[in-house]
Structure formats: structure tokens, C-alpha cells
Amino acid sequence: MRQLVAIVGPTATGKTALGIHLARHFQGEVVNADSRQVYRHMDIGTAKPTPQEQAQAPHHLLDVVDPDEPFSLGQWLELARAALADIWARGKIPFLVGGTGQYVWALLEGWTVPKVPPQPQWREEMAAWAAQHGPQALHRELALRDPEAARLIDPRNVRRVIRALEVIRSTGSPFSQLRRKEGPGFSYLCIGLWLPREELYRRIDQRVDQMIASGLVDEVRRLLAMGYSCRLPSMSGIGYKEICRHLAGEIDLATAVARIKWETHRLVRHQENWFRRTDPRIHWLRADDPNLSEKAKDLVAAFLLGTKETVGPCAS
């Protein structure tokens, strides 16, 4: 039987550490489900597992494309499904780890993604329009055409809003209706990590300070020196866009850091729309539980043995 364990939840809850720990314990392999960690050269600002962490267990779908290469959900799904097939063929267990809800549920629910080729010129026009009128205005346009897609897409994620409009424009159908769910073709256990909001914000702020201390400003400076523009979709992520503004002389570093923290707090609220505490498919564990590792290992062991009454609704 093909089985998969997913580790999900908001940013800064310790998904990476737990995923690696479980992969080592069960001789499994980690599959990245973070939409920013697919980019090469972008390590600190994406909280990518360090080389030392990656050495502890095989990792897949990290450093897949350069920052100036387009990358889509469809591409990620294709790569993820190929990685899973390879892992299962070698008798290993994949551990899907990440906080990009769209990626996680697309894989676990077996989404089919419309194959509409990108239209670069139209995308540039839409991006320029959004820059002039604001991301919210573009998102309102999507809400008029496809309310369900607008509900699921963060208004600040201009790239995804444009993609949804692009598909609607090309097919004449709502983007949300073209995403069919055909089932994943495997069983999965979904473990979610959570913390009270105040504690999570404290962790986020500490991590942002550590990113700055670890050289985030220099990382962005190197990316610019390599020829990667701050206008690229990859550079629109939290941390990179604020440091870009700092390096351009628009804001000082203290302001950039404060905005990174604030934007990350907002990201948590968006992630909670994808990973709801009431979702019966997710078995939630408190991230600061001193017995977290043991509880997670017990869940995984029961799942792999097929002990349904122990795993409960997490098995799908």
C-alpha cells in the first residue's frame, strides 16, 4: 500500500525539524511543500533546511528552478508525483513537509490543474495594472469573475491572482471549477502543528531577527548582483520584497524588519484558512509540547501499521 505522512501548519511551528526527525526515525524521505523553497539561491529568507539538516534525510523538490524561471502549481504537482513514485518504488515512506496549503491539498486531494500556457505579455500588463491600482483592485476583479477562487487566493499574491484570471480568460470557465479532485491514489496521515497566536508571533519575530543576523540582507544583495530583479515573482515573497526596498533606499532596515514581521503575521492568518483546526483530516499537535516527537512517532507508527482506531480521521 502506498502511504504518505504530511506535516502541515503555519510558518515557524517547527515543521522542518519534525519532518526530518520522523523521516530519520522511519527511514523515510522529505518532500518539500513550500512554494518559496523551490528557488535556488534563496535560502535564508525562505527558511530552507540548511545543508546540515538536508544531510540528515533525503530531500526532494528543493532548489528546483532559478529565481527568474516561471514555476506553477502544475509543475510542482508533476514533480511531486514523480518524487513519490520514486520513493515508493524504493520501499521508503515520503514525508510531505510545508505550509503552502495549495500545494499540500492539491496533492492530497488529487487535483487536476488546467493546462493553460502562460501569456507573458498579458501577465506583464496585469502586473503593471496591479502596481498602479493596487493588489486589492486586481483581487476584486477576480472576485467578480470567480468568487470561490478569490476566497482561496491571498489578495497580496498578485502572481496567483493573475494566473487565475489568465485561466479564466483562456478557457471562459471559472478557475475554481477547472480544478477537479480525483483522489490521491494513496493513503495519508496528516499531522498539523499549532501554537497560540501570541506564542507563534513571538517565534516569528525571533526567526526574522535570526534571518537578519544570518545574512538576509547580503543574500538579497547577492541575488541582485547575479542579475535577478526585485520585480520577479520569486522576489515578491515576504522578506525579499522588504529588503529590496531597503537596498533601494526607500526604507531603513528597522522598518524593513518590522514590515517582514507584520507580513509574516498576516501570512499565518492566511495559512489558517488552508489548515483549519476543525478539519477532521488533520491531527493537531501543539508545537511546544515537550512530548511532541514521541506523540508524532506514535501516530506515524500506528498509521503505517494500519491501526485505524489510533490514527482516527487523519487517515484518508
Would you tell me the crossing angle of helices 135-145 and 120-133 to the nearest 10 degrees? 120
Cα angle for residues 184, 14, 287 (degrees, 5° grid): 95
Cell numbers at 3, concatenated: 502511504
Q: Residue 206 and residue 99: Cα distance in Å, rounded?
A: 19
End-to-end CA gap in the chain: 13
Residue 123: CA count within 13 A, CB half-sphere: 17
101-120 burial, b at 16+ Cβ within 10 Å, e below that, comes to: bbbbbbbbebbebbebeeee
Would you tell me the crossing angle of helices 101-108 and 253-274 to the nearest 10 degrees? 20
β-bridge partners, 286: 194
Q: What is the pTM of this model?
A: 0.86
- Residues of the chain within CATH 1.10.20.140 domain(s) are 120-178
Q: Residue 240 and residue 39: Cα distance in Å, rounded?
A: 13
Which pLDDT belongs to residue 78? Answer: 95
DSSP-assigned letters across all residues of 146-160? -HHHHHHS-TT-HHH
- Residues of the chain within CATH 3.40.50.300 domain(s) are 3-113+181-314
Q: Residue 72 and residue 95: Cα distance in Å, rounded?
A: 21
Which pLDDT belongs to residue 314? Answer: 43
β-bridge partners, 189: 5
Tell me which residue of 157, 155, 104 sits closest to 274, measured CA to CA: 104
Q: Residue 284 and residue 78: Cα distance in Å, rounded?
A: 28
Which pLDDT belongs to residue 212? Answer: 98
Tell me which residue of 184, 4, 223, 199 sits closest to 93, measured CA to CA: 4
Which pLDDT belongs to residue 17? Answer: 98
CATH fourth-level superfamily of 3-113+181-314: P-loop containing nucleotide triphosphate hydrolases (3.40.50.300)
Cβ neighbours of residue 144 closer than 8 Å, sequence gap 6 or more? none
**CATH 1.10.20.140 is right for the domain spanning 120-178:** yes
Q: Residue 161 and residue 135: Cα distance in Å, rounded?
A: 9
Give the SS3 label for residue 4.
Answer: strand
Average pLDDT, consecutive stretches of 10 residues, N- to C-terminus, the chain (316 residues): 95 98 98 98 98 98 96 92 98 97 95 81 90 93 93 86 92 81 92 97 98 98 97 94 98 98 95 94 98 98 76 41
